[in-house]
Structure 1
């Protein structure tokens, strides 16, 4: 049996295990380890397991994962995320659809702390859904806004999605973070435009909120000043080259903890809970990465990526056509697979093709992360929709999925713009980092 056929059988076995609800990390580990034993040897598979587990655990670049996660968890436990929403609400809550717009802005701000879409949707959803219900917002709009706004967590830096992509493809985390800034702001603007259009077409879906005095606006902004300062220092430090991403994560986590202690909002119990949640999330990421490296080696030994690249080179499909096919595959897979699982499964196959065709890997990373975001609100999996369902149990999943459709369309339009104009993604990394 040829190596390519063994590789195909391994992939089929992987999808069978995933269909049986085996956790993705365990499924990838089993297929990768057994495949390496068959194509190489048992001693080589054991040696790779030991070396990969150690090298990943000892990687200094991975420090950003627990520290940025800790930063977001501490902000949640201390109530700083609520103050971020209050500030956005005070400034734009009085316009039609203003509460929904404030929710998107707050999600974008919290995304710049947590790097997690799930954390953004859950944290801001707990605060905003009750307010939008109080002001008689249509629950399709309110839940759709929270689910879609939460997806900003893996595009606006610091992004866990970019960190994992960087480790899988050996790209610069700093360049990826910078590449996500303008696309993240573009997507946030598209969400705000979508809310404006919805409430213009059907004003009853997002009625105006109460007006806020200018003094209240200033007061709420002052309350959010600590978290805004942390966002500016961490992202601005990376942008200006003062901090590396690792240093920025340490500065951000340290400042959030310091502000929490100074303002007497962080006690030992809250810090312990935030730390424990951060450890659990980090351990999950690490397990997935170790398993991804196992299956990456298996696929390389099977020569499937090389065979795919050779096939594409012999066809008449243009580079743009190949890129569009890969993105279309991501959009379909996003309906059935969790985002990070989709990334670690596909990168060993797609990334060698990307490099063979001369596609910029930083640009490709932004496009991949955006398609992962779209999968977070795509039925039937739509992880963010189920997260919002846990916060709003009285709203049916059918209404929630109908509510996210306009925002999915906005994300698709953004994807088209990023494909058509690569410089949106590449301007900052090409100008700020030599």
Structure 2
């Protein structure tokens, strides 16, 4: 039965059917084959999203959209340009640093790509950056919004794998900075080698730098309020998301860039994005239940315990599995399907839950830029050129994938990068 289910699953996946429908159909097929009532499917789907913590998802999505449309992105971009704009490949590095800063206030991967790309892509083209290089930078830089707190992906993982969302947030700081640094080094190297970009020779004045920093100050306080509220014990992650929405709305009104028409677009976009994610979570929960009833997780656990004798070997095997599956399906499904299976095994190996959570997060970041289903890469292509395909990003995207994979390995072999800051709050 398991072989039949796998054949159906991958056949539908390659035919291009949406992942939520695939999971639903496969669940129905498994219930029919097991002579189980379909009422179980409805019950498990409802139970999958009947969790107060999931309210943080639409709220963080709404907060990110408000900040993207309300003038915060432009101020963060000016600040990033003041920091790295004079370096070789300065505008490309500005895109990377802005994505990191915007990720720190939005928590959304694709939203980060579109918010930053919509402003910087035309300027990158003016400075003679090639389309393939632009898409390979703008798209993958969006995954910094997945790693740097707050992160919508971390909220889903924390709830699904029963890991502290607050500690996951703070654990993403150093890995996010590390990945930002590596990508910036790559951009500077390639820009100098290919002659991309124009290096600004005029030094920014202290007065101008102070003005730019002052304008970016209040947007950059967003993660401070979110993480400070959570770790002070004053608010939960969901309540922190409410703070982010209110704070972003107040700043946008203060900057006078949030019109009524923009607000309508924000509400519609946030609702559609939230519904898409929650439908996947709902159906994936039912699918996970069916797998558990058929003892699939137990068989996977036995496999690992037999062939992976050390924690490092286990983490490497998990990373390989996620690398393969990440080319076939999107991240939310991977979290809901695999984290409940892998987490108990990780605990048997004595792996710190926060460390394991960050290994998963970094692998999910890698999945977001891996063809053919890497959503961030697809977003980067679409915002660079409507007619651009993923194949047009080669070979640059292979270099970026290698950089992210390197950071994954560093996180695996150096657990302290993930755990040192969270341990300070125990």
TM above 0.5, yes or no, is: yes
* Cα distance in 1 for residues equivalent to 2:28 and 2:348: 27
Change (3 A) 1:32 1:347: farther
* Cα distance in 2 for residues equivalent to 1:20 and 1:140: 27
What is the match of residue 363 of structure 1? 355
Written as runs of structure 1 = structure 2, the 5 A alignment for 1:6-405 is 6-39=1-34, 41-42=36-37, 45-47=38-40, 49-50=42-43, 52-53=45-46, 55-200=47-192, 202=193, 204-209=195-200, 211=202, 212-315=204-307, 317-393=309-385, 397-405=390-398
Per the TM alignment, residue 150 of structure 1 is displaced from its structure 2 partner at its CA by 0.8
Change (3 A) 1:429 1:316: closer
Per the TM alignment, residue 242 of structure 1 is displaced from its structure 2 partner at its CA by 4.5
Q: Could you list the per-position Cα deviations for residues 301-348 of structure 1 after superposition, in whole angstroms to 9, with x for gaps in the alignment?
A: 111211222233334643322221121121122223222233333335
Per the TM alignment, residue 52 of structure 1 is displaced from its structure 2 partner at its CA by 4.5
* Cα distance in 2 for residues equivalent to 1:186 and 1:216: 28
Structure 2 counterpart SS, 1:371: helix
* Cα distance in 2 for residues equivalent to 1:144 and 1:344: 28
Change (3 A) 1:34 1:227: same
Q: Could you list the per-position Cα deviations for residues 167-224 of structure 1 after superposition, in whole angstroms to 9, with x for gaps in the alignment?
A: 2222222222122122111111221222233345x16134313533333222222332
What is the match of residue 406 of structure 1? 399
* Cα distance in 2 for residues equivalent to 1:209 and 1:140: 23
* Cα distance in 1 for residues equivalent to 2:30 and 2:82: 57
Structure 2 counterpart SS, 1:224: helix
| Structure 1 vs Structure 2 CA RMSD | 2.3
Per the TM alignment, residue 141 of structure 1 is displaced from its structure 2 partner at its CA by 3.4
Given that 1:100 and 1:145 are in contact with CA atoms closer than 8 Å, whether structure 2 keeps it comes out as yes
Per the TM alignment, residue 235 of structure 1 is displaced from its structure 2 partner at its CA by 3.2
Given that 1:85 and 1:106 are in contact with CA atoms closer than 8 Å, whether structure 2 keeps it comes out as yes
Per the TM alignment, residue 37 of structure 1 is displaced from its structure 2 partner at its CA by 5.0
What is the match of residue 431 of structure 1? 424
Structure 2 counterpart SS, 1:122: helix
Change (3 A) 1:302 1:358: farther
TM (norm. structure 1) is: 0.90
* Cα distance in 2 for residues equivalent to 1:28 and 1:168: 17
Per the TM alignment, residue 286 of structure 1 is displaced from its structure 2 partner at its CA by 1.0
Aligned length: 424
* Cα distance in 2 for residues equivalent to 1:222 and 1:284: 37
Per the TM alignment, residue 91 of structure 1 is displaced from its structure 2 partner at its CA by 3.0
Change (3 A) 1:214 1:286: same
Change (3 A) 1:51 1:195: closer
* Cα distance in 2 for residues equivalent to 1:151 and 1:381: 14
What is the match of residue 3 of structure 1? none
Per the TM alignment, residue 56 of structure 1 is displaced from its structure 2 partner at its CA by 4.3
* Cα distance in 1 for residues equivalent to 2:181 and 2:234: 28
* Cα distance in 2 for residues equivalent to 1:316 and 1:108: 35
Change (3 A) 1:274 1:368: same
* Cα distance in 2 for residues equivalent to 1:213 and 1:264: 27
Deviates more, 1:74-83 or 1:349-358: 349-358
Deviates more, 1:344-353 or 1:299-308: 344-353
Deviates more, 1:278-287 or 1:326-335: 326-335
Per the TM alignment, residue 283 of structure 1 is displaced from its structure 2 partner at its CA by 0.9
Given that 1:141 and 1:205 are in contact with CA atoms closer than 8 Å, whether structure 2 keeps it comes out as no
What is the match of residue 411 of structure 2? 418
Given that 1:96 and 1:199 are in contact with CA atoms closer than 8 Å, whether structure 2 keeps it comes out as yes
Structure 1, unmatched stretches of 5+, are: 1-5
Per the TM alignment, residue 85 of structure 1 is displaced from its structure 2 partner at its CA by 0.9
